[in-house]
Amino acid sequence: MKKLWYIATKDLLIVAKDRGAWITLLLTPLVVIVLASLALSPIYKGGSLHATLLVSDLDSGGVGKQLVSALAANPNMTVQAATEAESRTLKRAGSTYSLSLVIPEDFSARVEAGSSVQLMVYDDPNSTTSAPFLKGMIEGTVNRFSAVEVAAKVGVAEALNQNPAASAASVAAAAASASSQMANQPIKTSEQPAAGTKPLNTFDIETPGFAVMFLLFGVMIGTEGLLEERDKGTMARLIVAPVPRSSILGGKLAAQFLVSLLQISLLFAAGHFIFNMDTGNSLPGLVLMVAITAYTATAFGLLLAALVKTRRQASAFGVLTILLMSALGGSWWPLDIVPPFMRTLGHVTINAWALDGIKGLILHGQGFFDILPQAGVLFAYGTVCFLAGVKLFRFRNA
């Protein structure tokens, strides 16, 4: 029993001295828990989620203005005035939105006349967070802006207009009559998909995020391979040859890039051919985003190999970093549900820029030129990682 205890103590001491083990056992799950709690806090707090609603007030009457004011008074919603065409397409000034509301021309007149009236709501079926949230806000506002209350006010006003000396009883009777008529014909909303949108396919939403995350995990294999060659002395022998160090690392990374490109391409191909995932309106744009993402991820793997000392550290730091980037960058949940500071922080990651471009193509109908900014940022990101990795990588063990 004593010998068993000595062996156990020895192994515990080894674990205690291994920083990589502690990162894997304690720091990684702690970071994931904190990030998940922060990201999902708007949902669980039930009110701090914020979104923008496009509103086209074609009526411009008194009741229509009251409805717009009631919507704008909601602290969790920003009301953005738009034309009817912008509301139908959910696009305004180069930005894409998830929901819009169109108030018809005769809205005020119909409400005041005691007739039923219909509000048009245009949504993006692929928005699984902002659109449902905004729909709930609209329904709540319309319910509070009740037809019964409006009808009562109209009845009172009409009674006083017809007979300024009317008794309280006659005014109340007129209000009750108008309320009764309107109670059976409330303000209604009618929903339909916005122009250019398509039915929701969960694979369109989930495939890109997880494909990018597992691409990064795949790059870790190449990272550990570099460190293994260094540990075995292969790298030290290579630098004796008349070959620039950048060429040595570049050649090895070229192989990893091709593997990464094949991996993410197969994931997208499976999503498309097996699960009917859409590939968007621009196949060249999607190919560009996939290739640039693979390039950037590969270069990031080189930088990781340059910053760690051992393969165990590469595994521990790699898992932690990839989980961080995936959580912050939108691989686990859409960035439109997280607090603004996390949305900004998320764009430090490869994931966020890659998903902005890929989802723009797949979900929002963007074209090749629309995603060039995201592709440019990723290319610059990968180039910086590659140059820093070449500069810092140690070809021999310290």
CB 125 within 8 A of CB 197: yes
Question: Which pLDDT score, from 0 to 100, does residue 29 have?
Answer: 64
Question: Residue 75: which residues within 8 A CB-CB, separation 6 or more?
Answer: none
DSSP secondary structure letters along 317-379: HHHHHHHHHHHHHTSSS-GGGS-HHHHHHHTTSHHHHHHHHHHHHHHS---TGGGHHHHHHHH
DSSP-derived pairing of the beta strands 117-123 and 99-103: antiparallel
Fold of 49-146+186-193: abc type-2 transporter like fold (3.40.1710)
Question: Which pLDDT score, from 0 to 100, does residue 382 have?
Answer: 94
3-state secondary structure of 280: coil
The total number of residues shown for the chain amounts to 398
Question: Which pLDDT score, from 0 to 100, does residue 182 have?
Answer: 47
CB 103: neighbour CB atoms within 10 A?
25
Question: Which pLDDT score, from 0 to 100, does residue 283 have?
Answer: 92
Residues spanned by CATH 3.40.1710.10 within the chain? 49-146+186-193
- Tell me the one-letter amino acid at 1: M
Burial class of residue 260 (count of CB atoms within 10 Å of its CB; 0-12, 13-18, 19+): buried
CB 221 within 8 A of CB 382: no
Q: In what order do the strands lie in the sheet with 117-123?
A: 77-81, 51-57, 99-103, 117-123, 187-193
3-state secondary structure of 103: strand
User: pLDDT of the chain along its 398 residues, tens only?
Assistant: 665 565 556 555 655 565 555 555 566 666 666 766 666 666 555 545 677 889 999 987 888 888 888 888 888 788 999 998 998 988 887 777 888 999 998 888 887 776 778 888 888 877 766 777 778 778 877 776 655 455 555 555 555 566 655 555 555 555 555 555 444 445 777 777 777 666 767 788 888 999 999 899 888 888 888 888 787 777 777 777 777 777 777 788 888 888 888 888 988 988 888 888 888 888 999 999 999 999 999 999 999 988 888 787 888 888 889 988 998 998 988 887 787 888 889 999 999 999 999 988 988 778 899 999 999 999 999 999 999 988 888 877 65
Model-level pTM? 0.72
CA 71 to chain centre: 24
Q: Could you give the CA distance from residue 130 to residue 134 in angstroms, rounded to a whole number?
A: 6
